[in-house]
Chain A
């Protein structure tokens, strides 16, 4: 199995997708308890990451110049 990615580097949709799959695995009750424990811990962290992203989200607006450069707007 590929090494799971650092949670803080995940975008909202990536984190939510992984959380969804973790919940489904846990609900399917496959695997033993320690695997479940690890999944559960990661699920908690993903859930926390998602809600932090939502709380901190602030629309970033940039403007494209005639030279193709991006500069922050306002």
Chain B
């Protein structure tokens, strides 16, 4: 043992507060201590009136006091129970009033979720290296038949059906129902994808599921489902979970949508747009009636004759003659004008005009157009004049 140096200056006496505060600052200044994931078993869990959560995380040889403030605790989907194996994230500090170090927790997950995530990353990297995520085909503009792979009882199906009904009721939908959760879900989802693609042959498949924990989404993070996705002949759009969930299925799909509803929206044209497009075409068509054409030609002619004077008189006369010819032909051809007078237009089934009785045989079916409507008639007898 070293001899005490009697002349060395004594350390300055400090208060308990000074010591504790100094320690707290020292701990808080270490970055590693401020960004920790710690695993252990929950014990002494308590939730007093304040709404904060207090518990101890322990393993065989040690214990760590933990706090989660009410503002964060309120957002947790699950309340931990004594005996649960969990992983907590947070920063370490000291509660000065009791001289106790504790972990200020801001995130909780069940034990093993961390390793699930690790496996997810490994699988993703492996499949990516294999080139499985290269599919990026474009969507069919007018899908006639749309396949859906999801649970028959889930909200995701209802969301998708409502969206399709609202946006694009022209489509035919084929559901391949499957479990989307549980130990056999991955195999069943992969089977449903294959069956749907092979038997119903849709141009487009929506693979959808509502949100859930990483464990709930396991089927969509499985290799077998990723491979089934890549095999589909149909273009595949995934919509799994909430906005923030990204799955292996999303990477393998041609297109990833953040939610089931968004998948249905991405995959289909909107009825409102279809109607608007039709309306535009219709009004463009109305401006092209043959009568409007003649009026425009006449106007052109007027302009020409005004501007041109003598040099163009010849041409004007010619144009006028042509115009009259057109007008006359149009009127002669106008089915309305002729039919109004009680005449009828008779055509054979292939649309040829019937001008002579010898053109048709007894028994032939003919279409007769009268002023209002059409008649489908059968020839009883033919007679030449």
Contact = CB atoms under 8 A, between A and B. Distances in A.
Interface of A: 3, 11-13, 16, 19-20, 22-23, 26-27, 29, 32-34, 36-37, 40, 43-44, 47, 50-51, 53-54, 57-64, 66, 68, 70, 73
Given A13-B141, A62-B174, A34 B199 contact: no
Interface residues of B, number: 43
Nearest to B148: A61
Given A59-B169, A61-B175, A33 B330 contact: yes
Contacts of A19: 278, 281, 285
Nearest to A13: B142
Contacts of A61: 161, 173-175
A56 B277 CA distance: 18
Given A22-B285, A64-B200, A70-B199, 12 more contacts: A3-B351, A26-B288, A34-B329, A43-B288, A47-B278, A54-B275, A57-B271, A62-B173, A63-B176, A64-B176, A64-B199, A66-B195
Contacts of B142: 11-13
A40 B289 CA distance: 7
Contacts of B282: 47, 51
Contact of B290 (A20, A33, A62): A33
A50 to B, nearest CB: 5
Q: Closest 3 A-B residue pairs measured CB to CB?
A: A26-B288, A13-B142, A57-B169
A50 B278 contact: yes
B169 A58 contact: yes
B288 A64 contact: no
B161 A12 contact: no
B293 interface: yes
A3 B290 CA distance: 23
B165 interface: yes
B331 to A, nearest CB: 10
A23 B277 CA distance: 13
A40 B175 contact: no
Q: Is the interface of B mostly helix, strand, loop or mixed?
A: helix
A54 B281 contact: no
Interface of B: 141-142, 144, 152, 161, 164-165, 169-177, 192, 195-196, 198-200, 271, 274-275, 277-278, 281-282, 284-285, 288-290, 293-294, 326, 329-330, 333-334, 350-351
A57 B199 CA distance: 24
B277 A16 contact: yes
A39 to B, nearest CB: 8
Given A51-B278, A63-B177, A68-B195, A33 B293 contact: yes
Nearest to B170: A57
B149 to A, nearest CB: 9
A62 B170 contact: no
Contacts of B141: 13
Given A11-B144, A19-B281, A33-B326, A62 B195 contact: no
A56 to B, nearest CB: 9
B200 A70 contact: yes
Given A36-B288, A40-B289, A40-B290, A20 B281 contact: yes
A59 B284 contact: no
